[in-house]
Structure 1
Amino acid sequence: MSTILEAFTTINPEQTWLEVSPEQLEETMPSQQEYSYDVARSTAFTNRLILNAFVDWFNAESGIDEQLKVWPSLDALPSIWEIVNGTAIQLGETRVVLIPSQEIDINEFCVPAEWVDIPSWAADYYLAVQVSPEDCWLRICGYTTHKKLKQAGRYDTINRTYSLEQEELIEDLNVMWVARSFGCDRKAAIKPLPSLSQAQAENLLAQLSQRSCYSPRLKVDFEQWGAFMENENWRQHLYERRIAQAVPPQPVLVNLSQWFSNVFEECWQTVEDIFAPTELIPVLSSRNPEPDRESKLKAIASIIPLLNPHHEELLRCQAAGVLGKIGVGSHDVSIALTELLHTARDEKTRWQAAISLGKVNPNHPEAGRQRAKLIDLGIQLGGYPVALIVTVMPRTDGKVNVFLQVQPTKVETLLPPGMKLGLLSESDEMIREVEARKNALGQGKDESIQLVFSCSSATHFRVKVTWNNVSFTESFVI
C-alpha cells in the first residue's frame, strides 16, 4: 500500500480504501469502438475499475464464503454503461449496486433513478465509491439502502437521481454484512412500470438510438424509459444501434455573426432557460413576478438612475441586469444602457450593458448577444451539469468581442478542480487555456472559468472544455 493511501486509511479507518496499479488502469480503459460517446467510455472505465477492485477485495478480505456474481451478466454490462452509471452485483439473495464518482469533494451521493425505480434493477444496498485514477486509489465512502433512498433521499426531477448527504451514509461495511445476515427489510415499495407493446418499443428504439454525445435517458418520460430498459433484449438492441452509428460527425460551425440577427442554433438556449433565475437587487416584489405596465414603468424609472457614473460599479452592473429583464421595448432603457456601454469603468459592467441592450433593443448596432449550452463531461454522474456560455459584443472597428464562460448550473456549486476551458485555432492549436483551481483541502474554489478575446470577421476558432480526460469541443465562426 502506498504511503498516501496508508495516510488516508489512518485518517478514515472506517472507510474502505483500495489501491489499483497503473497496469490495471490501462487494462480497464475501453476501446473507442465499444461505446458511442466519450462520457459512456468514461462511465465504463470507472465502473469496470471499481467492479474488478471490489471483487478482488471481497474475495481476499471480506471473510464471506459466498461467491459474488455480476448482475445481470458480464456480457450485459456495456449495454448498461452506454446509458447509465452504476454496476450491480449479486451475493445470494442480496443485491449491491456500486456507484462510482470521480468528484474530488464528494458531499452528496447520487444514484440514478434506474437503480431505484425499475423493479428488477432495484438493489438492497448502494455503495458510494470515489475514484481517483491519477492517484491509483478507490474509496468506498459508505452505503445506504433502497428504503432510505426512497424515504429520505432527495429526488432531482431534472437529472432523475436520488441523493443523500455523505454524512447520511454508513461508512463501515461490516455493518452491512451483519444486517444482511439478519435478513432485515431493506427495500421500499416500488411502483410497477407499464407494459410496452412491440410497436411502442420499436418507436422508442428508433428515437433513442439517434447519434448523440450524451445519454438518451432523459429524452422520454421515466415510465416508458424504465419499461424499455428493463427488457434486456430491447436494451441490447439500443446499445448495438448506438455504437453502429457512432461514426464521428463532421463538426457543425456555430455562426456567431448570425446571432446579431437573432438567428441561433437549436442547442443554444437563453441563459434564463438553463440557469435558475436569481434576483439581482430587490426592486420587484417576488409576489408579483409579472408586474403590469404601470408597475414596470415605475420600476424602470427608479432603476435607470442607478446607472449613473457616481454609483458603485457593482450596483450599475446589477441594475443593467434587471433592466434587461423588465425593460424590453423601452426607448428610455435603450438610451440608458447605451450610455452605460460608453461610461462603464469595469469590463463586467460593459458586458452586462451589451447583453441587456440585446434583450431590450435587439436591433441596436451595439447590442450584444448571449446564449448557453449544457455540456456533459461525466459531471452529471456526480450530480450536477455545467454549461458553456458564449457572449458576443460588436465593436466600432468591425471586430467582435467574445466572452467564454463555463460554470455549474446549480446555485452555490463550484467547478471541480482541473476542469479546463481552452481556445483553439481552426487547426486545433491551443491559443489560450484556463483551469479551475483548488483550495488547500483539494476542493474546488472557482464558481466559473472564463476567457475574453477579440477577432475579425470570418475568423474560425474552436472551444474545448476538458475534465478527467473527457472533452467537449465546439467550432465557431464570426
Structure 2
Amino acid sequence: MNTRSDSEQINRQYYRQLQLETIDLEPEDFQQATLLSRNFDDEAQKWQAYLKILALFALKRWLSDRHLTLDNQIEYLPPHQIISSEPISNLQVGEFKVCLLTNENIVNERIEIPEKMINSPDFAAHLYVLIQVLVEEEEATLIGFIRHDKLINQSLQTNERENYKLSLPELNSDSSHLILNLKYLSPAAIKIPENALVESKSWEKLTTWLEHTFTETWQPVEELLGNRKPIMQMAFSLDKTTEKLSPKVVKKFLKQFQMTQKQRGKIQPDLSQPELSETEVNTALVNILQTTEDEETRWQVAELLWEIDPSHPATGVRRAIDLGMQLAGVPVALMIAILPKPNQRFAVLSRVYPLQEQRFLPANLKLIGLDEMGESLFEIRARERDDYIQFKFTADPGDRFSLQVSLNSATVTKHFII
C-alpha cells in the first residue's frame, strides 16, 4: 500500500500559515483502516478507502473531544461510498446532515463536489467538512467547512464530470464556527433540498428514549396496556396471587436455556439450588441478555425482565401509542422497544396490540416497515384471533425507518431514527 498520495502535497505551507487544527491519528485507527480497506480488491480502491476511513476516524475523534457525536458506525457505511472518489454523504451529527470531503476531493487548490451532493435530496447536507489525511505525519488536518446555504450562493463552475469546483479559501477555516453551528444552530436554519415524501415527517429519535427523553404521545406500556396479560404467559403459568411471573416460574426458563446451551458446549451458572432469589434471577437473566448471540433468546429474556423488573436498566426502553383516533376509531396500540446490543447496534421490536375490550386484532390489519425512501421492508398481516402481531430487527445509529399500521383504507404512519 502506498504511504503518500499526491494530494497530500497540496498547499501544505498555506495550511500551516492558517494554523489549521490537526487531529492525531492513533495506531488503532491505522489498524482498523487497514483491516477495513482489505475488503476491496483493487489497490487504488484500497488506498482510497484507507484514506477515507482515517478521515472518518479523525472527524469522529474531533467531534467527540467537543462533546459531539458522529452517529454513523464507520464499519457499516455503504462500501460504494468508501471506494468511490465522491464525498461521504448522509453522515449524521445530531440532527445535522454532514458531508465529508477528503484528500480525493482536492484537485489543483480546489475541492470538487458532485452536483448531486448539493442539489439532490438524497445526498445534500447542511454542512460540508474537508479533512485531509497526512499518513506519514500520523495526523489529519481540518481544512475548513462550508454551509449548504453559503455554498449555493457561490458562483460555482462545473467540470466535465459535472462536479462543482470551489477554491479552498472559500471554506471557513475557523473550526470554532463549525462547533457553534453544530451545537447552537437549528438545522432548519440551513435549508437543504428535501424529498416531498419526507418533507413533513416528524422523526422520533429512539436512542433518546434510552436517556429517558420522550415525546408526549408515547406513553409507558404499563399505563396504556396495563390490563393486558404478559406475552410470556403463553410459555409459563402466572402466580395465582399476583398474576405475575415469579422467580420460581422464571427458573423454568433459565433451566431450559441452560440445557440448550449445554448442548452447544457453553457453560452457565449452577441452577441446582432449590430456590433462587429475585436478585439471583435478575442477575442470571441480565447475564443472558448481555451475552447471548441469539436474537430470539434476547427478546424472550427482555420479556421476562419487563414482567418481573420492568425498570431494570438492562431491558432497554419500550413505549406505546394509541392509534385509535388516527385509524378510523379501531382500538389498537403500536408498541416500540429498543434494546442496546453488545456491538453498539440496537435491537428493535415493533408490535401492534388490540386495546380496550378487544381480545384480538381485526383480521387483515397490517404492520408494514418502510425504509427512508418509503420502500417496503416487511409486511405482517393479522390473522383471525391474533392477539398481537410483531416484527423484530437490528438497526445502526442514524438509521431511519417508518412503521405503518393499516386496515382497509385507514393508515397511520410513524417515523423513527435510531
TM-score class, shorter-chain normalisation, is 0.3 to 0.5
- What is the TM-score when the length of structure 2 is the normalising length? 0.40
